[in-house]
A and B are shown apart, each in its own frame.
Chain A
Amino acid sequence: MTVTSFKFTQYILLSIFTAFSLSAYASVNVSKPAPDFTGVDSHGSKHSLSQYKGKTVVLEWTNHDCPYVKKHYNSGNMQKLQKHATANDIVWLSIISSKPGKQGHVSGEQANELTRSRNAVPTAVILDETSEIGLLYGAKTTPHMYIIDKTGQLVYMGGIDNIPSKDEEDITGAKNYVRVALDAIATGKTIEDSITRPYGCSVKY
């Protein structure tokens, strides 16, 4: 009798744990609607995902001091991708989830200065000081890339490309997953690599 009730308690505990861990992580899924969010950009304007319904949206988690982010900005790779996206009416949101006092955290002015000095062309740079958007999407690294299609479905999550190194020379030979996915969306094809391993520095929550 006691043994049975002990077992029972264990299972109850197990399921509570499980439910707890579920609520904390199983946030986003490819081929499912992307959760809506609202954030404030470096100019103080509000952006929410729902306002861009009907357009393809790219989310880029970033931290200008991270060597992996530097790899893609110093080489001009990220800017090139941003230009390609915005020229094709795709919304590009760079998101900084670094907490105040941590690496990569910037003020609005600093963010604008970074955009200027690096010739970056995102639609907006969202300052996610509270980590709200980062945790909602489970962003883990900088860079960590997400693509949401015109119907609001998440269609890509993962790395910028397939060579997880810090070397700029590796960019030429790498398969840029984001570019491939955007091209697939443009031509109405299915995205073959829709979930890949993101690589980079941890997001400084």
Chain B
Amino acid sequence: MICQSACLVRVTIIAILLFAPLIMATADDNPASIKTPHLTASLISEHKGVVPGQPFWIALHFDIIPDWHTYWQNAGDSGNPPTIDWGLPEGFSASEIHWPYPQRLPVGPLMNYGYSHQAMLLVKVIPADTLPPGQAIELHANAEWLVCKVQCIPEEGKFSLSLPVIAASQQTPSNWADAFSDARQRLPQPLPWPATVDVNASLLTVNIDITNVDASQVHEVYFYPARYGIVEHAAKQPHVVNNNTLTITLTRGDLRGQSLKQLDGVLLIGERAADGILKRAFTVDISVAPMQTSSHLGYILLFALIGGLLLNIMPCVFPILSLKALQIVQSAALTPAVVRSNGVAFTLGVLLSFALIAALLLLLRASGEAIGWGFQLQSPAFVLILSWLLFAMGLMFSGLWSFGESFMGLGQQLTTRRGNAGAFFTGVLAVIVATPCTAPFMGTALGYALSQSNWTALLIFTVLGFGMALPWLMISFCPGLSNWLPKPGPWMELTKQLLAFPLYATVAWLLWVLSQQVDQTSLLVAFMSLVLLSFLLWCWQKLRSTTSLRYKIGLVLLLLLLLILVLTATLLQQQAPATSNQQTQDDWQAYDPVRLSELRRNGQPVLLNFTAAWCITCLVNEKVSISRPMVQTQLREKGVVYMKADWTNKDPRISEMLNQYGRSGVPLYLLFPGNGKDAVVLPNILTEGILTDVLQQVATRE
């Protein structure tokens, strides 16, 4: 009997041990909770299960006893924000904490920001795309927090949360779902109104154009700074509303002696509504004009002009250089007046395309897209069309086909009008091809342009284009130069054929860019489209000699149809974004804001390279400087983490970081020297010498 009951106990224990994970997994909500004398901390999930590949919310929840509090991301004058270290299953990733807006917690003459009663630290988890169904996954969190009344108690806890893997159709909200939606209501939303900030030695004056807010109903306005030292936390924040402009005066904090680049934080606006006070929180992130010393428009325009000039010698403009070179040579046979009007036409082509790109860019940004210079190359369709264009030109240079009498009247008798159209088109092409390149000075000018009013931005873009066209304009207005140029002759045909090859090289490179943007099937379609294109052009050339008009028209229509077919085919296949460049390799890591801030917190030096497959300047820089063995050895010796932010495809996180440094495009090189120091912005054109010199200044870690 005794034995029997003992056996029964053993069996029961074994059964419990066996089924324990299952019980955990299937229970309604079984948060791992830790109770301290001041609060109950729990790791909780909004939903009962995990659907593979489907992001979900979890939270560290504090149920705090009366009069005690925990802290916000900026704790204020004292205290510390909670930290969570995640232990996640493979293929999972967790966001940074999404903080609901906090409360003000005054302590004597000091001010803290935090939460009393309840705190929900929201975290979005992206699970792996494939997970074995029926099993449970475990999320582990190591959290540290400070809980305070007047005195503060540091506490910590290890949590784990087990969730079953289920299908999307089986997903159901947990008992915490309401708490999650409540907390999300308190997350700051992007500020929907334009805002500016004026800075002087002791005050920050924030102006916000609040439309659709009834000024007379504004009950409460408070700005929570995201970081230490920007604003004196305990200072009053007087505000007025005038003609829909909300003006808040903030007292600068400990960093008042230093120049302020960014005002970031959360703005809380409380309005009287029918059913009490309606509180809304907004994320504020206002750039103070990025260049304090030379932000005069005059300087910027000069930068833009020089940047445009230098664009001509950047590697990506090479195919166009070759085109222009031929045009100039053949212009020796023309009258100066024709040469001049060609020069003007080219300039107009450049200016108009720059203005168009600028307008499109501004329009898209106004609609909330996080994009910057070179954004068109983030579109695979654009890259493909560009490669068609260049491939067709290459084939023409090789003599497979011709356009009209000839493309841009090359080596033929020209009429003035056709010459001008050709020159204009070359200008357009020059700009399109130039977008993958950022020249020195240009980054600064563009970054500034996009932080200004639309008209100023357009002006800067136009000056940039003018700078690019300037050398060619000057050549066409300087008749003396034509004497210096070689006489037109049969050698031009040879040169033309030779120049087809840089064009083919560009096509090859564009296809490589495309290979990083689309899946393999789409890539094959892209390759095939080039073959089809050459076939079409060959047909065109053959048909030019036939005389039957109906036959001609019929075929042209057929070909057009084929082309459209190709276009739709590629468009259909392009949605799979490539992740090929995002994985972490041995000698470099993919950019991740969380990882970066973690490294910086640990005092680790970081070299951050903003690049894109379509950015030739970037690729050249990498080849001639960062990848050099000497630099690589130095990076290893100094313990510098090399991080790459690949902007080949759209990535708002990268756009945001570029914005922070007043840029709107790649390349950008930042060196964080470690120990929490601010980044050093390296030149856009890197050499081995520059890099080794800069790295020399990074302290070797003990």
| Interface set of A (CB-CB < 8 Å, partner B) | 7, 10-11, 13-14, 17-18, 20-22, 24-26, 29-31, 65-67, 102-103, 131, 135, 138, 140-141, 157-158, 162, 164-166, 173, 175, 192-193, 195, 197, 199-205
Contact = CB atoms under 8 A, between A and B. Distances in A.
B327 interface: no
Interface string B230-267: 00101110101010000101011011111000000000
Interface string B188-205: 000000000000001100
Contacts of B258: 195
A17 B152 contact: no
B420 interface: no
B77 A141 contact: yes
Contacts of B254: 138, 157-158, 195, 197
Given A20-B236, A141-B77, A7 B242 contact: yes
Contact of B676 (A10, A18, A157, A162): A162
Q: Which of A7, A166, A192, A193 lies at the interface centre, i.e. has the most chain B CB atoms within 10 A of its CB?
A: A166
A102 B149 CA distance: 13
A151 B202 CA distance: 24
Given A67-B154, A140-B77, A193-B677, 15 more contacts: A17-B236, A18-B238, A18-B251, A25-B232, A25-B234, A140-B78, A158-B254, A175-B675, A195-B257, A195-B258, A197-B254, A201-B152, A202-B78, A202-B150, A205-B108
Interface in B213-235: 228-229, 232, 234-235
B152 A67 contact: yes
Contact of A67 (B150, B153, B234): B153
Interface string B142-178: 0010101011111000000000000000000000000
A135 to B, nearest CB: 6
14 contacts: A18-B251, A21-B235, A26-B251, A26-B252, A135-B109, A162-B603, A166-B146, A175-B603, A175-B675, A193-B675, A200-B78, A201-B148, A203-B78, A203-B110
A31 B254 CA distance: 12
A65 B677 contact: no
Q: Which of A7, A21, A192 lies at the interface centre, i.e. has the most chain B CB atoms within 10 A of its CB?
A: A21
Contacts of B242: 7, 10
A22 B144 CA distance: 36
B80 A65 contact: no
A85 B610 CA distance: 44
Interface in B635-689: 675-677
Nearest to A197: B228
Given A158-B254, A175-B603, A197-B229, A202 B112 contact: yes
A29 B257 CA distance: 7
B110 A140 contact: yes
Given A21-B235, A30-B257, A205-B110, A14 B151 contact: no
Contact of B107 (A22, A26, A67, A202): A202
A1 to B, nearest CB: 16
Interface in B324-359: none
A199 B229 CA distance: 12
A13 B80 CA distance: 35
Given A192-B677, A202-B78, A205-B108, A17 B238 contact: yes
B79 interface: yes
B51 to A, nearest CB: 37
Contacts of A13: 238
B236 A31 contact: no
A138 B235 CA distance: 12
Query: Closest 3 CB pairs between A and B?
Result: A202-B78, A197-B228, A17-B238
B229 A195 contact: yes
B235 A25 contact: yes
B151 A103 contact: yes
Contacts of B153: 67
Interface in B106-136: 107-110, 112
Contacts of B240: 10-11, 14
